[in-house]
Amino acid sequence: MSEPKSFRRTHLDGHLLHPSTQMMSYGYDASMSEGAVKPPVFLTSTFVFKSAEEGADFFDVVAGRKPAPQDGGAGGLVYSRFNHPNTEIVEDRLALFDGAERALVTSSGMAAIAAVFLTHCRPGDAIVHYSPLYGGTETLLGKVMTGWGIKPIPFVDGLSDSMLLYALEKAARHGPVRIVYLETPANPTNALIDLKMVRRVVDEWSSVSGQTPIIVCDNTMLGPVFQNPIRHGVDICVYSMTKYIGGHSDLIAGGITGSAALLKPIRQSRSAFGFQLDPHSSWMLARSMETLTLRMERAAETGVKVADWLASNSPIPCKILHPLHSKNAAEREVYARQCSGPGSTFSMVVADDRALAFRIVNGLQLFKLAVSLGGTESLVCHPASTTHSGVPADARARAGVTEGLIRLSVGLEHPDDLIADLRIALDKAARG
């Protein structure tokens, strides 16, 4: 053999391998599992040590008393709340895809977000966050973290450095600003945040204020295929892996990517809180990630066709909130610089009339009426009455989450069928 078989190989001789290729093999060594091409499911809660010395050594690593080995691994296997082979395979692949040093997998997207907040914030601190965020994150910040004495301060324009700066200064009056929290494109408005701008404003403000908040971005909507925020200056990405990465609407999981230094304390809290993902879901996630690029690319292509059709043919007048339909030149510039594809979750906005919106969603047959997104099947939801119903009405209005906003998550069906479904439902709704 010309080169030792390495399960964390990045190149073939001089040739750099694409992440889409690596999703089939990276992080898994078949020779350690009877040659099995596919990783076994390790349904085990605990792992046998070869000796007491080894046990002591492994514990030093998982407890953070000793550094993890240099090769990217997380140290010896101890107990499935701390580390687990099926989870580590997913972590290796997610980190690779996101261009991050490390990744952590958690039991849900909210567990990932909570683990970041609870690790990096203390009572009295402040978090500056973009709004609108996913409804669950708004609730976590506005209703739960406040109970821990952590103050959330929103900003609503992701392209304006002055509004971000204003929010930072306002937050600093409450206490140390630990986190600047972003989500781009925003759910469900698809508004973009200029990540490079955020990095610059935070750095400039840091040099004046002496505070160094970490920048965290929810990358659920486009990542890791179409957007890698870490390459644009973000410190940590969080994911609901329930969505595109899981991709089949059949598991709940979350992920965190970033530097080894920032993720090390989060790993400690994941172990302490018990936010880890179970072995079976981890195995399913690895299976999902094999088709991730294909799924996201096909869904995005189909999404563009559906959005284009709605923009020019909808029998009910509507506005399309899709990255390629943005009329804002600054936003288009950010999209071109920051994203390599539009994803497949976007919204159509009809008149601010709940009854009309309900008539439309009730008339759809292929698009299933359910929350969540990013699966192989297309879904439709009405955020104002569901995912974002917990967000105060004024905040909803400010963010543009009106009663007429309908969010579509486009899956892998044939575009002509999805368009036919929309045409039939819209025609029916137009007739009343």
Alpha-carbon radius of gyration of the chain: 22
1 binds, among another protein, ligand PLP, none (CB under 5 to 8 A by kind): another protein
What is the enclosing helix (H) or strand (E) of 256? strand 254-258
136 binds, among another protein, ligand PLP, none (CB under 5 to 8 A by kind): ligand PLP
Among 377, 386, 395, 428, binds another protein (CB under 8 A): 377
Quickly list H helices, 160-256: 161-172, 195-209
**12 touches another protein by CB under 8 A:** yes
**136 touches ligand PLP by CB under 6 A:** yes
Give the integer Cα–Cα distance in Å for 422 and 286: 33
**345 touches another protein by CB under 8 A:** no
- Residue 352 per-residue DSSP state: S
**92 touches another protein by CB under 8 A:** no
Among 82, 117, 130, 134, binds ligand PLP (CB under 6 A): 134
Q: Tell me if 239 sits within 8 A of 245, measured CB to CB.
A: yes
Judged by CB under 6 A, the stretch of 103-111, 160-168, 199-207, 314-322 that binds ligand PLP is 103-111
Q: Tell me if 212 sits within 8 A of 245, measured CB to CB.
A: no
Query: How far apart, in Å, are the Cα atoms of 288 and each of 8, 83, 234, 249, 298?
Result: 19, 20, 26, 11, 15
Quote the least distance from Cβ 414 to another protein, whole Å: 4
Binding track, positions 386-425, relative to another protein; x by CB under 8 A: -------------------------xxxx-xx--xx--x-
Binding track, positions 157-196, relative to ligand PLP; x by CB under 6 A: --------------------------x---x---------
**Three-state SS string across 124-153, please?**
CCEEEEECCCCHHHHHHHHHHHHHHCCEEE
316 binds, among ligand PLP, another protein, none (CB under 5 to 8 A by kind): none
309: amino acid identity, one letter:
W
In this structure, are strands 379-381 and 368-369 parallel, antiparallel, or unpaired?
parallel
Q: Please name the residue that has the structure tokens 């090390």.
A: 264
Interface positions, 138-167, toward another protein (CB under 8 A): none
Give the integer Cα–Cα distance in Å for 326 and 305: 15
Interface positions, 292-331, toward another protein (CB under 8 A): 294-295, 298
Between residues 6 and 328, which has the closer beta carbon with respect to another protein?
6
Mind giving me the DSSP string for 42-93?
---SB---SSHHHHHHHHHHHTTSSPPPTTS---S--BTTT--HHHHHHHHH
**20 touches another protein by CB under 8 A:** yes
Quote the least distance from Cβ 40 to ligand PLP, whole Å: 19
108 binds, among another protein, ligand PLP, none (CB under 5 to 8 A by kind): ligand PLP
Largest CA distance in the chain: 76
**252 touches ligand PLP by CB under 6 A:** yes
Neighbour count for residue 209 (Cβ, 10 Å): 15
Between residues 133 and 360, which has the closer beta carbon with respect to ligand PLP?
133
Binding track, positions 117-136, relative to another protein; x by CB under 8 A: --------------------
Total chain residues near ligand PLP (CB under 6 A): 16
Number of alpha helices (DSSP H) and beta strands (DSSP E) in the chain: 14, 14
Beta-bridge partner residues of 155: 130
**365 touches another protein by CB under 8 A:** yes
Interface positions, 315-374, toward ligand PLP (CB under 6 A): 372
Pick from 235, 294, 283, 373: nearest CA to 19: 294
The residue ranges that bind another protein (CB under 8 A) are: 1-3, 5, 9, 12-13, 15, 17-18, 20-21, 24-25, 30, 35, 37-38, 248-250, 287, 290-291, 294-295, 298, 365-366, 368, 370, 375-377, 379, 411-414, 416-417, 420-421, 424
The residue ranges that bind ligand PLP (CB under 6 A) are: 108-110, 134, 136-137, 183, 187, 218, 220, 240, 242-243, 252, 254, 372
